């Protein structure tokens, strides 16, 4: 588990959301964590972790090319990414979700990037 990207509290909330989705519950949760590249324009708003492997996260992904999309990403792969100035993916310490995932997605599609 890549705990440097998420806290234990975030991990537990991500797993709870993942368990709810796996149980068939319809979800439109608030994103739990925002990850980003400090020296590029990539952003990930994560809402859940797959409870069977705890490395696959789901959320809104924006790699900085104007095409944000919902999808899955592996935390271990995010931990290996560095931007052009060799700065790693970082957790936004001050992020507090202001809207649900579907609303972030709607705004991201309209604007071509995730809006904070």
Residue-range domain boundaries for the chain? 8-111
pLDDT tens digits along 38-78: 998 899 999 999 999 999 999 999 998 889 999 999 999 99
Q: Is the pLDDT of residue 34 over 70?
A: yes
Query: What pLDDT, on the 0 to 100 scale, is given for residue 52?
Result: 96
Looking at the chain, list the stretches that DSSP marks H as alpha helix, in order from N- to C-terminal side.
8-22, 75-78, 101-111
Whether residue 102 is predicted with pLDDT greater than 50 in this model: the reply is: yes
pLDDT (0 to 100) of residue 4 = 82
Handedness of CA 5, 8, 13, 15 (dihedral sign): positive
Average pLDDT over residues 90-114: 95
Q: How far apart are CA 87 and CA 72, in angstroms?
A: 22
Q: What is the pLDDT of residue 115?
A: 81
């Amino acid at each position: 588990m890549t705990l440097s990207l998420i806290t234990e509290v975030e991990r537990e909330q991500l797993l709870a959301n993942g368990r709810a989705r796996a149980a068939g519950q319809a979800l439109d949760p608030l994103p739990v964590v925002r990850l980003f590249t400090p020296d590029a324009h990539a952003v990930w708003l994560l809402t859940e972790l797959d409870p069977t492997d705890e490395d696959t996260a789901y959320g809104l992904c924006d790699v900085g090319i104007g095409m944000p999309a919902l999808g899955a990403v592996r935390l271990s792969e995010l931990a290996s990414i560095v931007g052009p100035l060799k700065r790693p993916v970082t957790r936004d310490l001050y992020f507090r979700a202001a809207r649900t995932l579907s609303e972030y997605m709607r705004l991201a599609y309209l604007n071509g990037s995730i809006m904070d």
